[in-house]
Amino acid sequence: MEQYRKIQDLRTPSLYIKRSGFWCPDHILTDGQFEFGKLIRPKMFNCDRLIETADGTFKLHKKSFWSKEIEIYKNEEKIGSLTRNTWDNKQTLQLHTGFTATFTRTPGSGIFSRKVSWLNSELGEFITLQSCFGFRKPFTVEIVNTQLNKAQVPIVLMAIIGVNILLLRQQWAAAAASV
């Protein structure tokens, strides 16, 4: 993917998500000058998502309609899974490389906070996402831990998966409110 920059070229820890399109919008991770990745929804009523980064194209595939697990594929090879916990609002990402992280509300934030973050037992909190009130820029992404080995931790993939989780939560809330 020549159009996307590698995360090692990033100069600032602050990024944002740019929305492009109306009916099936694409969500682009950018710093304002360069694009680092894109979340694509290929079909209107399909649960699968595509993520394009400089490292390649990834596919998020839900096992079944009632499943709590989303499988992550790269070139038709399963590289990990994202599992939603039953009784709390946490989701766990497990990659086959041995990397594990938890997506949860930012520790210490209030109950109505719009901040969520990726946590790891070794790294602590390292990526924070916050939803904003904007149509063109719906989310901001901040890399909290700047001492990360950016080659080991898939920062762009995790940021875009986090945006996908937030979009799914918004869809669930809209569906529950319309009933």
pLDDT of residue 9: 81
**CB distance 46 to 59 below 8 Å:** no
Distance CA 145, CA 124 (A): 8
Please tell me the predicted confidence (pLDDT) of residue 49: 92
- The predicted pLDDT at position 57 comes to 95
Fold observed for domain 7-174: Porin (2.40.160)
At 111 the pLDDT is 67
Q: How far is CA 34 from CA 3, 82, 136, 170, in A?
A: 9, 28, 16, 27
pTM above 0.85, yes or no: yes
Annotated domain spans of the chain = 7-174
Mean pLDDT by runs of 10 across the 179 residues of the chain is 83 89 88 93 83 94 87 95 88 94 80 82 88 80 78 86 87 79
pLDDT at residue 99 in the model: 92
